[in-house]
Structure 1
Amino acid sequence: MQKPDDISEPHAETIELNFQSVTDLADMQSVSQLAGEIWREHYMPIIGATQIEYMLARFQTAEAIAEQINAGYRYYLALHQQRALAYFATLPDLENKSLHLGKLYVCKRWQRLGLGRRIIAYLEGYCQRHDFHSLWLTVNRQNHQAIDFYLGNGFMNIGNISKDIGAGFVMDDFKMLKTIK
């Protein structure tokens, strides 16, 4: 396994990385396909196949993504040489001067190499440019890898959130907050 400090191949800190806004159906389909790949690989031991498939069908189809964009979410693909390595979605809250990071998913091959940190840094810059005072998200309480990532990137766990998402499933999450200076 490649170590993050091994410079024998490009890593997220050094490769050219572009954040592309998702605006058309082809991009939405790319996000949906990427979501299926990432979620099935990562969430199986956390929430199981039935809930994964339910959530993908409800929240990550091209049609569902289009509805979210129409409701104010902004989706982005993180690309290297036109290859999607990750995606993320945000929802600005102008009234509370905060940015909700609704989604941040990185392909397994690109995890633990700095790509997530670059996305967080990009979002911090966005918050500073738009005078937002905080960046917040929710994360599954059993997703220890993601929780550790967010804590290591300056987020604080500020409480529990449980949300019924239908079909007998509940999102059992922590709410995490990062103050932007």
Structure 2
Amino acid sequence: MKKLKKKALVGLLVLVSFAIMACGTNNGTTEGTKKKENDTVKKFKAEGYLFSDRSYPSFGSMIYSLILDNPDTGITFESYVELEKKDNNLIPSSIASIRYNEKDEDIDSEIVYFQGKHSADEENTLDAYTKELKKLGLSKGDFIDFVIEYAKDNYKVSKEDLEDAKEFDSDTEDSDDI
């Protein structure tokens, strides 16, 4: 009788294990998998940064924006990632731009990265941006890599985004080149 109970228990554990394996890994459709926590996310959160993100159409392409805002310090990193259309999907591809805000230094949404290079109209803006990244243990390149990776991990394509992207496709198909 003991052997039978033991076999039944082992069988039950095997069934439960299969059920967990079948359902256990999430395919990204529920809120539970969104916002993967990597070391850089933890660094920003430890410093008091709040994360917000969204996607929207902008000047003929789809954009995913990631805003990292620290209300205590008045520092904000605004990152804009281009979404590339592949088949019936949108994939984060490259950084369109990064803006930096620092209230104490009177830096108000200044562009610090655009079209593949770091630059700013005011020298103190780029210095303040670089200094704040260094406080977090990041270089400018590390931050760009982080933003792209964060977008890839957290952006989930929606029907609305696909419809907007299809409108861009139809707009270019309908245009007449003279």
- What's the TM-score, normalizing by structure 2? 0.31
Name the one with the larger helix percent.
2
- Larger-Rg structure: 2
- What's the TM-score, normalizing by structure 1? 0.31
